[in-house]
Structure 1
């Protein structure tokens, strides 16, 4: 009851102040950005904004933040505004462009002349999403997502596969541009500065390499259950990787943003809390090995490496009781899958990199991937034309 009252009061505030602020002129050079309900400077919006600021530094960027956001990590050119504040309502009402990567953030009424780019927060999706799992989603979410789709002017995609998924499952029939994902541009070119940045953040020695363990969340499990489910022996895994790949390894554990704020990682010299780092793509770039369960990060990481290992103790339960998968993980994908930690260690020992590289190239072709390192450039050029035409 309290949640319902709070939500209704929030919408009432948006309606009242939105009606006032829509009397103000739309600012052609202003963009308002949301990343995961006010999270930090990351995902597709970050890379689009970086490119726009390099091409048109006079552009006004407003980034919505929540109370947990580390504001010190933002470029000084960006104006930070608290999400769902009165000020944020003004910014939405007067910005020429909206950029968002989720579909259930209430934005009020879009005006004639405003342009809304939905980047989403995934590419090829291992998990089923949106309409494909409508019966697993709350009625509030489905309603919000459908309403959001009516506001969208364009979406971006990184593959034939993703475009088809948008058409089928996102309640959306507008323009889709297969330019690639801006966040994946990071995998193309010299990444040593990013690797150094990540290692410096976690105080990791130059000679050490990184194992990134990034499990996704479970809709039907409590935080306590997921905490237990994602408990692995990071030091043992690091030692096995050292024997296999002849390097020293540090184990970074990062869970999905949906549960990160309530998730505890016990750090040691060899184990680090990846949730403290704002940009998942930079972690993927810095990592030498990726271990996950049903996360679509595998389709990003395979742009740079085949050292991917899938591990989930609840495979059958996930298929039956959670969202389900778009692929038969044991037949359609080139990666090994382990149900137990012992199987994971064995898969690492038996890994054949040459064979895995061939399988991954075939998978890229089947998916019709369009990532080539130019997505940010193409997307920013498109938005700049909308603003400065």
Structure 2
């Protein structure tokens, strides 16, 4: 770790120490999404539900860029992530909500409650303990420390619960509530579709193909750019031929590399990284193309039109990250190793056959998302706040 970072963490810890002289505020909740990202993922949907319940809550959201304030509802205070102020807010809050395990947090005080929602759900990539040989010493140390502070994790399936138990250096309570971010698939999806299309100035009659590749650690950004590219015009044309609709492609890079791999927009391609909420993009999309992103396991709650496109499948699992599934054998989604296969799979897509396979997979992992997760989690937090 760089000296500058060590000094800052030392100062943050010092501020935390002085803050402990202050009383814990029972109405304060401090929230982080992916180390300072905007209003999204599980924390967003929990907070939206909390705001319905209580108008007296002091909800603090830690952000890297306050320019994202336009996406936040009233009732949320934005505080700079990893700032001295954030150390004070964390030290004096009754509840912490986070979806990553390596963001800065002080030593939890007696009476504080930490909910870790994680950001993955059912996923391709082996994580935490299962991927220990690919993780940095700093991440492993931070994750183990974080696990000791967690009071509760939430799950949407037997698969996720077992993954937490086996790999997260965590022996605490896990509640099967469903994932709050997935409630969006059970609510008024038409309004969300309109909202997303209006954001990108997409015609209401035009459908969205969402392309959401994950990041790679084993290759350079230039190589990654090539791996995450294909002939968009041909793919759009294939969708139009197969489904008889007009399409536009929205490309959303993983937050880890979005700043380094820009998406050049035109009439046919839009930059999905400009939109703060991945779940709303999923809701608004007609089909999903990805490689190793856990978004497929959320999108299947809405649609079976999922296309796995992984040019580097063998190389990825050999040099980057082992994965939990044999993509070709264990999953219901069509797999494409190259662009020609992708076009062929789009042209020959079988709705009915795919639907049956997806239903069987949901049963296998014992998926329980039903649209009520945010309500269940919020009730737990309200009870903790008042205890």
TM-score between the two structures when normalised by the length of structure 2: 0.99
Q: Would you say the 8 A contact 2:51–2:57 is kept in 1?
A: yes
Tell me the SS of whatever aligns to 2:358. helix
Which residue in 2 is equivalent to 1:255?
A: 253
- Which of 288, 291, 299 aligns to 2:289? It is 291
Tell me the SS of whatever aligns to 2:143. helix
Which residue in 2 is equivalent to 1:212?
A: 210
Which residue in 2 is equivalent to 1:172?
A: 170
1:145-164 aligned within 5 A: 145-164=143-162
| 2:375 is aligned with 1:377 | yes
Which residue in 1 is equivalent to 2:336?
A: 338
Number of residue pairs matched by the alignment: 387
Q: Would you say the 8 A contact 1:66–1:83 is kept in 2?
A: yes
Partners of 1:72 and 1:116 in 2: CA distance: 27
Q: Would you say the 8 A contact 2:123–2:324 is kept in 1?
A: yes
5-14 vs 42-51, greater mean Cα deviation: 5-14
Which residue in 1 is equivalent to 2:192?
A: 194
TM-score between the two structures when normalised by the length of structure 1: 0.98
- Which of 35, 38, 41 aligns to 2:33? It is 35
What CA RMSD, in Å, does the superposition of the two structures yield over aligned residues? Answer: 0.9
Residues 178-217 of structure 1, C-alpha deviations (whole Å, 9 max, x = no match): 1110000000132111000000000000000000000011
Partners of 1:149 and 1:26 in 2: CA distance: 22
| 2:229 is aligned with 1:245 | no
Q: CA deviation at 1:12?
A: 0.9
1:104-115 aligned within 5 A: 104-115=102-113
- Which of 268, 273, 276 aligns to 2:274? It is 276
- Which of 263, 266, 270 aligns to 1:265? It is 263
Which residue in 2 is equivalent to 1:326?
A: 324
Q: Would you say the 8 A contact 2:95–2:112 is kept in 1?
A: yes
Long gaps (5+) in structure 2:
none
Which residue in 1 is equivalent to 2:5?
A: 7
26-35 vs 9-18, greater mean Cα deviation: 9-18
Residues 269-319 of structure 1, C-alpha deviations (whole Å, 9 max, x = no match): 011000000000000000000000111111000001100000011011011
Tell me the SS of whatever aligns to 1:342. helix
- Which of 10, 19, 22 aligns to 2:20? It is 22
Partners of 1:354 and 1:67 in 2: CA distance: 44
Q: Would you say the 8 A contact 1:235–1:251 is kept in 2?
A: no
Tell me the SS of whatever aligns to 2:322. coil
Partners of 1:135 and 1:247 in 2: CA distance: 46
Q: Would you say the 8 A contact 1:219–1:322 is kept in 2?
A: yes
Partners of 2:238 and 2:357 in 1: CA distance: 24
| 2:98 is aligned with 1:96 | no
Which residue in 2 is equivalent to 1:368?
A: 366
Partners of 1:271 and 1:149 in 2: CA distance: 40
Q: Would you say the 8 A contact 1:235–1:271 is kept in 2?
A: no
Which residue in 1 is equivalent to 2:132?
A: 134
Q: CA deviation at 1:388?
A: 2.2
Partners of 2:67 and 2:366 in 1: CA distance: 36
Tell me the SS of whatever aligns to 1:162. helix
Partners of 2:154 and 2:266 in 1: CA distance: 40
Partners of 1:11 and 1:220 in 2: CA distance: 29
- Detail structure 1 runs of 4+ shifted over 2 Å in the superposition: none
Q: CA deviation at 1:68?
A: 6.7
Q: Would you say the 8 A contact 2:13–2:87 is kept in 1?
A: no
Long gaps (5+) in structure 1:
none
Partners of 1:68 and 1:291 in 2: CA distance: 31
